């Protein structure tokens, strides 16, 4: 796919999940630069910047995508190249390296998360996270017998995708409406959700409704875990910037509302670190308070 096609699919939610979005964006950028015909290096840099801007604008709250694109951009800027052959090789290597980084981090994270699940557990999850789904499936493949409660995740019902994948894998799965999460919290051993972004303070940005579930979990003394690679850390938050919360089209809530009705449709919310029992990452289960130290150890280039 081209950069334009990929950006359009991301914006339309045809590509979902932070990892999937990051992978497809990196592949699209790599393809765009490798196939570019140019005579001056400035032409390459113009297309590079335009392509990155288009992809980033398709989903504001996706630092994993931005980090992946930044990795390729940094390699292009920091390496000497003067021919199409050298540039193609450089971009291909950078794309391969960052995708390998994504994959290795995710696999380690999944193993860590799967070890947290025990026989007899009931796990509540929200939205669709490939990391959460893979963690649950990995635990099931290890022979563990557990149950999952899955929210619908309105208004786009991303929870149905998770439920479908879990049922296909043979996992005992029950769907509930979003507003029933607090009601069923007494049955839950722990909550397991994904993340679209992690801030420098250790706060987590995820699908709207996540913070309400975290609040209910804290009230019920139920551990609340976030499955996320450290690659979802957003470096701009170190300098005081806030993560942008995307406002989705009102048609997702009501296609034909009465005249004069105002509708708000934020896609994400912020779960503060004090509500989070632990971040399940490629470094293991860590406190959200220690996120900066973990980034320094694993991905200093992000800073």
Residue positions annotated with a catalytic role: 127, 196
Which residue has 């679209």 as its token pair?
Answer: 196
Calculate the alpha carbon distances from 172 to 82, 100, 165, 223 in Å: 57, 32, 11, 21
- Closest Cα partner for 94 from 33, 19, 53? 33
Question: Which residue blocks in 40-129 are alpha helix, DSSP H?
Answer: 41-58, 63-78, 84-116
Tokens found for residue 49: 């910047």
| DSSP summary character for residue 226 | E
Residues 6+ apart with CB under 8 A from 205: 61, 195, 196, 197, 198, 199, 243, 245, 268, 269, 270, 271
d(C-alpha 279, C-alpha 7), whole Å:
29
The tokens describing 268, both together, are: 């994400």
Return d(Cα 21, Cα 31) in angstroms, integer.
15
**If DSSP codes are grouped into helix, strand and coil, which group holds residue 285?**
strand
């Amino acid at each position: 796919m081209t950069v334009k096609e990929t950006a359009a699919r991301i914006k339309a939610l045809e590509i979902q999940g932070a990892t999937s979005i990051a992978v497809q964006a990196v592949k699209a950028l790599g393809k765009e630069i490798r196939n570019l015909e140019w005579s001056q290096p400035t032409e390459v840099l113009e297309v590079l910047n335009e392509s990155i801007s288009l992809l980033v604008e398709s989903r504001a709250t996706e630092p994993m995508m931005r980090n992946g694109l930044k990795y390729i951009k940094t390699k292009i800027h920091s390496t000497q190249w003067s021919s199409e052959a050298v540039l193609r090789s450089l971009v291909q290597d950078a794309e391969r390296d960052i995708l390998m980084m994504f994959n290795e981090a995710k696999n380690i994270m999944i193993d860590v998360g799967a070890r947290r699940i025990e026989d007899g557990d009931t796990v509540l999850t929200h939205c669709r996270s490939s990391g959460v789904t893979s963690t649950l499936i990995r635990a099931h493949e290890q022979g563990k017998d557990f149950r999952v409660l899955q929210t619908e995740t309105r208004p786009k019902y991303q929870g149905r995708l998770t439920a479908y994948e879990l049922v296909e894998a043979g996992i005992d799965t029950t769907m509930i409406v979003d507003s029933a999460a607090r009601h069923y919290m007494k049955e839950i051993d722990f909550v397991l959700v994904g993340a679209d972004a992690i801030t420098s303070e250790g706060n987590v940005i995820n699908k709207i409704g996540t913070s309400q579930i975290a609040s209910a979990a804290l009230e019920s003394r139920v551990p609340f875990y976030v499955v996320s690679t450290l690659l979802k850390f957003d470096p701009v938050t170190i300098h005081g910037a806030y993560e942008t919360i995307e406002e989705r089209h009102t048609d997702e809530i009501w296609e034909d509302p009465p005249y004069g009705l105002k509708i708000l449709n934020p896609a994400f919310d912020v779960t503060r670190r004090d509500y989070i029992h632990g971040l399940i990452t490629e470094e293991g289960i860590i406190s959200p308070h220690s996120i900066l130290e973990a980034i320094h150890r694993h991905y200093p280039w992000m800073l």
